[in-house]
Structure 1
Amino acid sequence: MASGGGAPLRLRPPSHQVDRRAVTWWRTQVLATGGVPVIVLVVLGLVLPDAARFGLLLPAVVIAVLTVAAALGMPAWWYRVHRWEVTGDAVYTRTGALWQEWRVAPMSRIQTVDSQRGPLEQYFGLATVTVTTASAKGAVKIPGLDHELAEDLVHQLTETTQATPGDAT
């Protein structure tokens, strides 16, 4: 990949961490996702006959233990891995847990820049910035940003890409 100036962009670790509140946001998502089947199994185990109770409560306990373990461990790891950076030439991201993905989106290839805030993100004061490019790989996402920083970043990237020569295709 080459930037508008001609020097090739290289894959390198981005310098910025996501907001620390992202750990709690991710934990809440994991607990909510795992909690739904646990609640369903417990309710069914309590209302169905005694013969079915053990077959429903045992999986509920297993899922609950795995969910709590995942909620304690995974978000802390994600926080250590997720990085982002915006330079005058490109947007750099690194995401993932076991399979890490490093992405570079040159400014000349950016088509749109958006910010999303789901209900939990709003509660924690966070946002996700999505940078859509002409890449077949899809959009570059920067999750777990402070919502004001995300707003500023969208504004900055929009101004930068409008001033960057290229057709974004």
Structure 2
Amino acid sequence: MSDRADEHSAASDEAGAAGLPGGRRAGVPGRAGVSLRAPANPVSRKAIMLWLLEGLFWSVLLAGGSFFLAGWIDEDRWPWLPGWALDNIWWLPWLMVLLLVPGTLIEPFWRYAVHRWEFSGDVVYARSGWLSREWVFVPVSRIQTVDKAQGWFERMLGLATVEIRTASHAGSSTIKGLEYEVAAKLAEGLARRAEELRDDAT
């Protein structure tokens, strides 16, 4: 597993003022390294079910597609495929199932352990990922829009996603797996604080 800290340089000073690990300070030669701590707040435990449902949905599509493809190849006997592949083509969908099932069952719990968030000192700090991890610091002063989003499965489970956008795509962040009420309060608090900071700047 490879861990990647995507720390935005624009957030480094504000993150340091908030008591969070600074974006650049950890990588600047000659200065003491600062290890990345986990953000304070976990996502909702219902996010495990959300990621399980999403994983099952895509796994069923992929497995169903592989069975369809195997049947098509077996019926038409594609001439450009070697004989050993044609004779064993029905191994393809079963191999796909064997590969998909463990990942589908493990991924939701792994993601729940990784995904965390925090809003402190005018900085939004989030960690996300699965096989790779991403740490993101977003200064509230740079936020342009804050939105709540709900997919089908999120609506079923009472969850929502907070989408934070800045002028730079690299400085934006998405916090998924929040209870709807928590997402609503976070989005409202971020939008209000960003407006206050813009008014202070003028």
What's the TM-score, normalizing by structure 2? 0.72
Task: Find the counterpart in structure 2 of residue 7 from structure 1.
Answer: 17
Does residue 1:31 correspond to 2:75, yes or no? no
C-alpha deviations, 1:25-84, integer Å up to 9, x for none? 1111112112112113334556764976851x3211111122110111111111101110
Task: Find the counterpart in structure 1 of residue 149 from structure 2.
Answer: 116
Task: Find the counterpart in structure 1 of residue 31 from structure 2.
Answer: none
How far, CA to CA, are the matches of 1:167 and 1:131 in structure 2? Answer: 21
Task: Find the counterpart in structure 2 of residue 19 from structure 1.
Answer: 44
Q: Could you tell me which of 99, 109, 116 is aligned with 1:83?
A: 116
Return the letter of the residue paired with 1:28: L
Structure 2 portions without partners, runs of 5+: 1-11, 22-36, 78-85
How far, CA to CA, are the matches of 1:60 and 1:167 in structure 2? Answer: 60
Equivalenced residues, count = 166
Offset, 1:127: 0.9
Return the letter of the residue paired with 1:27: L
Q: Percent identity?
A: 36
Structure 1 portions without partners, runs of 5+: none
Larger radius of gyration: 2
SS at match of 1:28: helix
SS at match of 1:103: strand
Cα 1:53–1:143 change in 2 (3 A) is: farther
Return the letter of the residue paired with 1:21: K
Summarize the alignment of residues 47-66 of structure 1 with structure 2, pairs less than 5 Å apart.
49=75, 54-55=88-89, 57-66=90-99
Does residue 1:149 correspond to 2:182, yes or no? yes
What's the TM-score, normalizing by structure 1? 0.84
